[in-house]
Amino acid sequence: MKKTFFLLQAVLLICILTGCSSTSTKTEEGMQQISALQYSDALVLFEEAEGLGENPRLIARGRGIAYLGQINYAAAEEQFLLALSESNGFIGDIDYDINYYLADAYIGQEKYSEAEETYSAIIDLREEAKAYFLRGKVRLQSGSYTIAKEDFDKAVTLAPKDIKMVTDIYLELAEMGYREAGEEYLRAALESGDKSLTSLNKGKIYYYLGEYQTAAASLEEARNADGNDADASLYLGKAYEAVGEYNYASNVYESYLARNPKAAAVYNQLALCKMSMGDYESALENIQAGMQTGDTDYMRYLSFNEIVIYEYLGEFKKAQALMNAYLAGYPNDKDALREQKFLETR
Protein backbone atom coordinates (compact mmCIF):
# COMPACT_ATOMS: atom_id res chain seq x y z
CA MET A 1 0.00 0.00 0.00
CA LYS A 2 2.87 2.33 0.65
CA LYS A 3 3.60 2.39 -3.09
CA THR A 4 0.46 4.44 -3.90
CA PHE A 5 2.18 7.67 -2.83
CA PHE A 6 2.57 9.73 -6.03
CA LEU A 7 -0.62 10.19 -8.08
CA LEU A 8 -2.37 13.07 -6.30
CA GLN A 9 0.89 15.00 -6.08
CA ALA A 10 1.23 14.64 -9.84
CA VAL A 11 -2.21 16.07 -10.54
CA LEU A 12 -1.74 18.99 -8.16
CA LEU A 13 1.60 19.95 -9.64
CA ILE A 14 0.31 19.86 -13.21
CA CYS A 15 -2.38 22.35 -12.21
CA ILE A 16 0.23 24.65 -10.66
CA LEU A 17 2.51 24.44 -13.67
CA THR A 18 -0.05 24.86 -16.44
CA GLY A 19 -2.94 26.59 -14.70
CA CYS A 20 -6.15 24.60 -14.43
CA SER A 21 -8.61 26.59 -16.50
CA SER A 22 -12.06 25.91 -17.87
CA THR A 23 -10.45 24.89 -21.17
CA SER A 24 -8.08 22.08 -20.33
CA THR A 25 -5.20 20.92 -22.49
CA LYS A 26 -4.75 17.32 -23.59
CA THR A 27 -1.86 17.10 -21.15
CA GLU A 28 -4.13 18.17 -18.29
CA GLU A 29 -6.78 15.70 -19.42
CA GLY A 30 -4.12 13.01 -19.42
CA MET A 31 -3.21 13.84 -15.82
CA GLN A 32 -6.88 13.66 -14.90
CA GLN A 33 -7.00 10.16 -16.36
CA ILE A 34 -3.96 9.24 -14.25
CA SER A 35 -5.80 10.41 -11.13
CA ALA A 36 -8.61 8.02 -12.17
CA LEU A 37 -6.03 5.21 -12.68
CA GLN A 38 -6.87 5.09 -16.40
CA TYR A 39 -3.26 4.88 -17.53
CA SER A 40 -3.85 3.62 -21.07
CA ASP A 41 -6.34 6.42 -21.70
CA ALA A 42 -3.83 8.89 -20.29
CA LEU A 43 -1.16 7.70 -22.73
CA VAL A 44 -3.55 8.20 -25.65
CA LEU A 45 -4.19 11.76 -24.51
CA PHE A 46 -0.46 12.47 -24.18
CA GLU A 47 -0.03 11.23 -27.75
CA GLU A 48 -2.71 13.72 -28.85
CA ALA A 49 -1.02 16.45 -26.80
CA GLU A 50 2.23 15.80 -28.63
CA GLY A 51 0.47 16.11 -31.97
CA LEU A 52 -0.95 19.46 -30.88
CA GLY A 53 2.50 20.75 -29.94
CA GLU A 54 1.87 21.03 -26.19
CA ASN A 55 4.69 21.33 -23.67
CA PRO A 56 7.00 18.36 -24.40
CA ARG A 57 8.45 18.33 -20.90
CA LEU A 58 5.05 17.99 -19.24
CA ILE A 59 4.04 15.34 -21.77
CA ALA A 60 7.14 13.25 -21.02
CA ARG A 61 6.58 13.66 -17.30
CA GLY A 62 2.95 12.62 -17.65
CA ARG A 63 3.88 9.58 -19.71
CA GLY A 64 6.45 8.59 -17.11
CA ILE A 65 3.87 8.73 -14.33
CA ALA A 66 1.41 6.70 -16.42
CA TYR A 67 4.07 4.06 -17.04
CA LEU A 68 4.83 4.00 -13.31
CA GLY A 69 1.15 3.33 -12.75
CA GLN A 70 1.34 0.42 -15.17
CA ILE A 71 4.46 -0.83 -13.36
CA ASN A 72 6.44 -0.40 -16.58
CA TYR A 73 9.53 1.01 -14.90
CA ALA A 74 11.90 0.92 -17.88
CA ALA A 75 9.51 2.99 -20.02
CA ALA A 76 8.95 5.36 -17.10
CA GLU A 77 12.70 5.86 -16.69
CA GLU A 78 13.05 6.75 -20.38
CA GLN A 79 10.31 9.37 -20.16
CA PHE A 80 11.60 11.00 -16.98
CA LEU A 81 15.09 11.27 -18.45
CA LEU A 82 13.53 12.84 -21.54
CA ALA A 83 11.63 15.30 -19.34
CA LEU A 84 14.83 16.26 -17.55
CA SER A 85 16.60 16.77 -20.87
CA GLU A 86 13.97 19.38 -21.77
CA SER A 87 15.13 21.64 -18.92
CA ASN A 88 15.77 25.31 -19.70
CA GLY A 89 18.80 25.27 -17.39
CA PHE A 90 17.05 26.84 -14.40
CA ILE A 91 16.35 24.37 -11.61
CA GLY A 92 12.81 24.60 -10.26
CA ASP A 93 10.31 22.54 -8.30
CA ILE A 94 9.44 20.47 -11.37
CA ASP A 95 13.06 19.29 -11.63
CA TYR A 96 13.00 17.93 -8.07
CA ASP A 97 9.59 16.42 -8.73
CA ILE A 98 10.77 14.59 -11.88
CA ASN A 99 13.90 13.34 -10.11
CA TYR A 100 11.81 11.82 -7.31
CA TYR A 101 9.75 9.99 -9.93
CA LEU A 102 12.90 8.93 -11.78
CA ALA A 103 14.23 7.39 -8.57
CA ASP A 104 10.94 5.47 -8.24
CA ALA A 105 11.51 4.08 -11.74
CA TYR A 106 15.07 3.05 -10.85
CA ILE A 107 13.92 1.32 -7.66
CA GLY A 108 11.26 -0.57 -9.58
CA GLN A 109 14.06 -2.02 -11.72
CA GLU A 110 16.28 -2.64 -8.67
CA LYS A 111 18.74 -0.05 -9.95
CA TYR A 112 19.57 1.00 -6.43
CA SER A 113 22.85 2.75 -7.16
CA GLU A 114 21.17 4.97 -9.78
CA ALA A 115 18.35 5.76 -7.35
CA GLU A 116 20.87 6.61 -4.63
CA GLU A 117 22.71 8.95 -7.00
CA THR A 118 19.43 10.65 -7.87
CA TYR A 119 18.54 11.29 -4.23
CA SER A 120 22.10 12.50 -3.59
CA ALA A 121 21.73 14.99 -6.43
CA ILE A 122 18.55 16.31 -4.83
CA ILE A 123 20.23 16.58 -1.41
CA ASP A 124 23.22 18.41 -2.88
CA LEU A 125 20.90 21.18 -4.05
CA ARG A 126 18.20 21.15 -1.39
CA GLU A 127 18.27 19.35 1.95
CA GLU A 128 14.93 17.62 2.38
CA ALA A 129 13.91 15.08 5.00
CA LYS A 130 12.06 13.17 2.28
CA ALA A 131 15.21 12.79 0.18
CA TYR A 132 17.30 11.62 3.15
CA PHE A 133 14.63 9.10 4.13
CA LEU A 134 14.32 7.72 0.60
CA ARG A 135 18.09 7.55 0.12
CA GLY A 136 18.35 5.71 3.43
CA LYS A 137 15.70 3.28 2.25
CA VAL A 138 17.61 2.59 -0.97
CA ARG A 139 20.89 2.17 0.89
CA LEU A 140 19.22 -0.25 3.27
CA GLN A 141 17.90 -2.31 0.37
CA SER A 142 21.43 -2.36 -1.03
CA GLY A 143 22.76 -3.82 2.23
CA SER A 144 24.43 -0.62 3.48
CA TYR A 145 22.87 -0.50 6.95
CA THR A 146 25.31 1.93 8.60
CA ILE A 147 25.04 4.76 6.07
CA ALA A 148 21.31 4.08 5.67
CA LYS A 149 20.85 4.71 9.38
CA GLU A 150 22.83 7.93 9.07
CA ASP A 151 20.33 9.10 6.45
CA PHE A 152 17.39 8.12 8.64
CA ASP A 153 18.93 10.04 11.55
CA LYS A 154 19.32 13.12 9.36
CA ALA A 155 15.75 12.83 8.10
CA VAL A 156 14.42 12.75 11.67
CA THR A 157 16.61 15.72 12.61
CA LEU A 158 15.13 17.74 9.74
CA ALA A 159 11.54 16.70 10.46
CA PRO A 160 11.33 15.58 14.11
CA LYS A 161 7.52 15.87 14.25
CA ASP A 162 6.85 13.80 11.15
CA ILE A 163 5.48 10.69 12.85
CA LYS A 164 4.54 9.05 9.56
CA MET A 165 8.17 9.21 8.47
CA VAL A 166 9.28 7.79 11.84
CA THR A 167 6.91 4.84 11.50
CA ASP A 168 7.99 4.38 7.86
CA ILE A 169 11.63 4.20 9.02
CA TYR A 170 10.61 1.55 11.54
CA LEU A 171 8.79 -0.46 8.87
CA GLU A 172 11.75 -0.33 6.49
CA LEU A 173 14.22 -1.42 9.17
CA ALA A 174 11.90 -4.15 10.46
CA GLU A 175 11.36 -5.52 6.96
CA MET A 176 15.12 -5.79 6.43
CA GLY A 177 15.71 -7.56 9.76
CA TYR A 178 16.59 -4.55 11.94
CA ARG A 179 13.43 -4.39 14.03
CA GLU A 180 15.20 -3.37 17.25
CA ALA A 181 16.92 -0.48 15.50
CA GLY A 182 13.57 0.59 14.10
CA GLU A 183 11.97 0.46 17.53
CA GLU A 184 14.59 2.94 18.76
CA TYR A 185 13.06 5.59 16.49
CA LEU A 186 9.56 4.82 17.77
CA ARG A 187 10.59 5.01 21.41
CA ALA A 188 12.57 8.20 20.83
CA ALA A 189 9.42 9.82 19.42
CA LEU A 190 7.45 8.76 22.50
CA GLU A 191 10.15 9.99 24.86
CA SER A 192 10.78 13.28 23.06
CA GLY A 193 8.39 15.21 25.30
CA ASP A 194 6.76 16.68 22.21
CA LYS A 195 3.46 18.09 23.47
CA SER A 196 2.05 18.05 19.95
CA LEU A 197 2.20 14.23 19.86
CA THR A 198 -1.46 13.28 19.56
CA SER A 199 -3.19 10.27 21.05
CA LEU A 200 -3.62 8.99 17.49
CA ASN A 201 0.12 9.12 16.80
CA LYS A 202 0.89 7.59 20.19
CA GLY A 203 -1.52 4.80 19.38
CA LYS A 204 0.16 4.15 16.04
CA ILE A 205 3.58 4.02 17.67
CA TYR A 206 2.41 1.61 20.38
CA TYR A 207 0.75 -0.51 17.69
CA TYR A 208 4.04 -0.86 15.81
CA LEU A 209 5.84 -1.59 19.08
CA GLY A 210 3.46 -4.49 19.59
CA GLU A 211 2.03 -2.96 22.77
CA TYR A 212 -1.53 -3.52 21.61
CA GLN A 213 -3.42 -2.82 24.84
CA THR A 214 -1.67 0.51 25.30
CA ALA A 215 -2.21 1.24 21.63
CA ALA A 216 -5.92 0.48 21.94
CA ALA A 217 -6.27 2.86 24.92
CA SER A 218 -4.69 5.74 22.97
CA LEU A 219 -6.63 4.94 19.82
CA GLU A 220 -9.95 4.75 21.71
CA GLU A 221 -9.15 8.22 23.04
CA ALA A 222 -8.42 9.41 19.51
CA ARG A 223 -11.62 7.86 18.19
CA ASN A 224 -13.68 9.48 20.95
CA ALA A 225 -12.09 12.86 20.14
CA ASP A 226 -12.83 12.57 16.42
CA GLY A 227 -15.09 9.73 15.37
CA ASN A 228 -14.62 10.65 11.72
CA ASP A 229 -10.85 10.11 11.70
CA ALA A 230 -10.35 6.97 9.61
CA ASP A 231 -6.87 6.28 10.99
CA ALA A 232 -8.15 6.12 14.57
CA SER A 233 -10.64 3.39 13.67
CA LEU A 234 -8.27 1.61 11.29
CA TYR A 235 -5.43 1.29 13.79
CA LEU A 236 -7.80 0.55 16.67
CA GLY A 237 -9.32 -2.29 14.68
CA LYS A 238 -5.89 -3.59 13.66
CA ALA A 239 -4.76 -3.53 17.30
CA TYR A 240 -7.68 -5.79 18.19
CA GLU A 241 -7.00 -8.01 15.17
CA ALA A 242 -3.41 -8.41 16.34
CA VAL A 243 -4.62 -10.06 19.56
CA GLY A 244 -7.23 -12.18 17.78
CA GLU A 245 -10.25 -10.06 18.71
CA TYR A 246 -11.69 -10.14 15.20
CA ASN A 247 -15.33 -9.64 16.22
CA TYR A 248 -14.49 -6.49 18.16
CA ALA A 249 -12.26 -5.26 15.32
CA SER A 250 -15.03 -5.77 12.75
CA ASN A 251 -17.42 -3.85 15.02
CA VAL A 252 -14.95 -0.95 15.09
CA TYR A 253 -14.78 -0.86 11.29
CA GLU A 254 -18.53 -1.26 10.85
CA SER A 255 -19.23 1.50 13.35
CA TYR A 256 -16.98 3.85 11.41
CA LEU A 257 -18.54 2.91 8.05
CA ALA A 258 -22.02 3.57 9.41
CA ARG A 259 -20.97 7.22 9.75
CA ASN A 260 -18.58 7.37 6.79
CA PRO A 261 -19.84 5.04 4.05
CA LYS A 262 -17.32 6.29 1.47
CA ALA A 263 -14.19 5.08 3.32
CA ALA A 264 -12.61 2.61 0.89
CA ALA A 265 -9.62 1.98 3.17
CA VAL A 266 -11.88 0.86 6.00
CA TYR A 267 -13.92 -1.39 3.71
CA ASN A 268 -10.67 -2.99 2.57
CA GLN A 269 -9.47 -3.60 6.14
CA LEU A 270 -12.88 -4.92 7.20
CA ALA A 271 -12.72 -7.37 4.29
CA LEU A 272 -9.28 -8.56 5.42
CA CYS A 273 -10.63 -8.97 8.94
CA LYS A 274 -13.57 -11.02 7.65
CA MET A 275 -11.13 -13.19 5.70
CA SER A 276 -9.20 -13.86 8.89
CA MET A 277 -12.51 -15.00 10.40
CA GLY A 278 -13.13 -17.30 7.41
CA ASP A 279 -16.19 -15.28 6.36
CA TYR A 280 -15.36 -14.88 2.68
CA GLU A 281 -18.87 -13.94 1.58
CA SER A 282 -18.89 -10.93 3.91
CA ALA A 283 -15.32 -10.11 2.86
CA LEU A 284 -16.43 -10.02 -0.77
CA GLU A 285 -19.40 -7.79 0.05
CA ASN A 286 -17.11 -5.31 1.78
CA ILE A 287 -14.54 -5.31 -1.02
CA GLN A 288 -17.26 -4.59 -3.55
CA ALA A 289 -18.75 -1.89 -1.32
CA GLY A 290 -15.29 -0.32 -1.18
CA MET A 291 -15.10 -0.38 -4.96
CA GLN A 292 -18.46 1.37 -5.15
CA THR A 293 -16.99 4.38 -3.35
CA GLY A 294 -14.94 5.21 -6.44
CA ASP A 295 -11.85 5.93 -4.35
CA THR A 296 -9.08 5.55 -6.93
CA ASP A 297 -6.33 5.49 -4.30
CA TYR A 298 -7.53 2.06 -3.13
CA MET A 299 -9.05 0.63 -6.29
CA ARG A 300 -5.98 -1.40 -7.19
CA TYR A 301 -5.82 -3.08 -3.78
CA LEU A 302 -9.55 -3.68 -3.68
CA SER A 303 -9.45 -5.20 -7.15
CA PHE A 304 -6.61 -7.55 -6.27
CA ASN A 305 -8.22 -8.60 -3.00
CA GLU A 306 -11.48 -9.29 -4.82
CA ILE A 307 -9.63 -11.81 -6.98
CA VAL A 308 -8.09 -13.48 -3.94
CA ILE A 309 -11.47 -13.80 -2.24
CA TYR A 310 -13.00 -15.44 -5.31
CA GLU A 311 -10.14 -17.94 -5.16
CA TYR A 312 -10.98 -18.74 -1.52
CA LEU A 313 -14.61 -19.18 -2.56
CA GLY A 314 -13.50 -21.66 -5.22
CA GLU A 315 -14.84 -19.49 -8.07
CA PHE A 316 -11.72 -19.79 -10.18
CA LYS A 317 -13.30 -18.85 -13.53
CA LYS A 318 -14.57 -15.61 -12.04
CA ALA A 319 -11.16 -14.98 -10.45
CA GLN A 320 -9.43 -15.65 -13.77
CA ALA A 321 -11.68 -13.22 -15.64
CA LEU A 322 -11.03 -10.52 -13.06
CA MET A 323 -7.30 -11.25 -13.15
CA ASN A 324 -7.26 -10.78 -16.93
CA ALA A 325 -8.90 -7.38 -16.49
CA TYR A 326 -6.51 -6.48 -13.67
CA LEU A 327 -3.42 -7.38 -15.71
CA ALA A 328 -4.70 -5.29 -18.60
CA GLY A 329 -4.21 -2.28 -16.32
CA TYR A 330 -1.14 -3.54 -14.45
CA PRO A 331 0.67 -5.88 -16.86
CA ASN A 332 3.93 -5.87 -14.89
CA ASP A 333 2.54 -6.55 -11.40
CA LYS A 334 4.76 -9.42 -10.20
CA ASP A 335 2.34 -10.52 -7.47
CA ALA A 336 -0.52 -10.64 -9.95
CA LEU A 337 1.55 -12.56 -12.48
CA ARG A 338 2.37 -15.16 -9.83
CA GLU A 339 -1.29 -15.38 -8.91
CA GLN A 340 -2.13 -15.76 -12.60
CA LYS A 341 0.09 -18.82 -12.82
CA PHE A 342 -1.71 -20.34 -9.85
CA LEU A 343 -5.10 -19.69 -11.44
CA GLU A 344 -3.99 -21.36 -14.65
CA THR A 345 -3.55 -24.61 -12.71
CA ARG A 346 -7.05 -24.61 -11.23
Domain-wise residue ranges, the chain:
1-109
**pLDDT tens digits, residue range 149-207?**
999 999 999 999 999 999 999 999 999 999 999 999 999 999 987 888 999 999 999 99
Cβ atoms within 10 A of the Cβ of 120, count? 12
CATH architecture of the domain 1-109 equals Alpha Horseshoe (1.25)
Mean pLDDT (whole number) for 74-86: 96
Counted residue by residue, the chain has a size of 346
Q: How far is CA 20 from CA 31, 41, 162, 312, 331, in A?
A: 11, 20, 31, 45, 31
Phi-psi region of 37 (alpha: psi -120 to 50; beta: other; left: phi over 0): left
- DSSP code, position 4: G
* CA–CA separation, 19 and 103 (whole Å): 26
**pLDDT tens digits, residue range 285-333?**
999 999 999 888 889 999 999 999 999 999 999 999 999 999 988 887 8
C-beta of residue 40 within 8 angstroms of C-beta of residue 329: yes
pLDDT value of residue 13:
52
C-beta of residue 46 within 8 angstroms of C-beta of residue 66: yes
pLDDT value of residue 8:
44
pLDDT value of residue 329:
81
Q: Where are the alpha helices (DSSP H) in the chain?
A: 7-18, 26-35, 39-51, 56-69, 73-85, 93-108, 112-125, 129-141, 145-158, 163-175, 179-190, 199-208, 212-225, 230-242, 246-259, 264-276, 280-292, 296-312, 316-329, 334-344
Greater model confidence, 89 or 136: 136
Cβ atoms within 10 A of the Cβ of 174, count? 15
Mean pLDDT (whole number) for 80-99: 92
Greater model confidence, 12 or 43: 43
pLDDT value of residue 296:
83
Mean pLDDT (whole number) for 106-116: 95
- DSSP code, position 3: G
Mean pLDDT (whole number) for 335-341: 89
Report residue 231 CA to chain centroid gap.
Answer: 15
Mean pLDDT (whole number) for 28-57: 94
Greater model confidence, 11 or 271: 271
C-beta of residue 72 within 8 angstroms of C-beta of residue 53: no
Is residue 239 predicted with pLDDT exceeding 90? yes
